Amino acid sequence: MIKLVAKKLVRNISNNIISKSCRITNNTIIVNDKLLFENNNVPFNVFIKNAYKYFINNYPKFFKMDNLSKLGIIAVELLSDEFKSIDGKEIGVVLVNSASSLDADQTFQKTIVKDNYFPSPSVFVYTLPNIVIGEICIKHKIYGESSFFVSQNFDSTFIYNIVCDLFSRQGINTAIVGWLDFIDNDYLASLCIIKKISQQKSNYNEMINFTIENFNNTIKNDI
């Protein structure tokens, strides 16, 4: 497991906003603090399949994905109205988790043990954590800068600075950002949309300013 560490100066982009958030955990889906979907007392594979049928139901590739990618696809789908009209080159993705692709790694390991040797290419392709970003970008035609970081805990200041860097240097004005983790049927997607806005715009007054404190409160919670 690789951990990436970087030190950057905190920049003030308080005129930018957290426009929407989505949280998936414990068989519930919450968007902007409102419960949208609940499917209690079922395992993850049943819950996520039912969520797919309820929110998407027209993307068959979903069923070939690993658990982490399925989780990410559902979460981003529920945020997608915030970036559908934006050029894919202007959208970035920054995700973090603590388990990397360990769930897919364990599944693949079972196919190469000595007594049951039959490697599965369809499983092997998901044995990198950033593959979920690829799946998200393919579905939503996103072409901007993307990063996946592996860290034991969610460092809101570090991720805040990564987003600031995207907005200042990479031509990005919208970012899909947050925590996305799955291991041993323990899962959490806590994502949000960050938007770069101009000082002249006034229709965002009721939105949440993108500050470290607000970002941490939106994403972290029990991470």
Residue spans of the domains in the chain: they are 17-219
Ranges of H-type helices in 142-197: 156-169
Q: What residue type is 50 in one-letter code?
A: N
Q: Rounded distance, CA 39 to CA 55, Å?
A: 13
Q: Rounded distance, CA 213 to CA 199, Å?
A: 21
Q: Rounded distance, CA 41 to CA 145, Å?
A: 38
pLDDT higher at 80 or 8: 80
Looking at the DSSP assignment, which residues form a beta bridge with residue 176?
93, 193
Burial of 124 (0-12, 13-18, 19+ CB in 10 A): middle
Q: Rounded distance, CA 42 to CA 211, Å?
A: 37
Q: What are 41-53's pLDDT values in tens digits?
A: 999 999 999 999 9
Please give the DSSP secondary-structure letter assigned to residue 39: -
Beta-strand runs (E) in 43-161 = 91-97, 146-150
Q: Are 73 and 139 in contact (CB under 8 A)?
A: yes
Q: Which fold has domain 17-219?
A: Peroxisomal Thiolase; Chain A, domain 1 (3.40.47)
* Mean pLDDT across 9-18: 64
Q: Looking at the predicted structure, is the pLDDT value of residue 4 above 90?
A: no
What is the pLDDT at residue 198?
66
* Mean pLDDT across 84-103: 95
Q: Are 65 and 135 in contact (CB under 8 A)?
A: yes
CA atoms within 13 A on the CB side of 156: 16
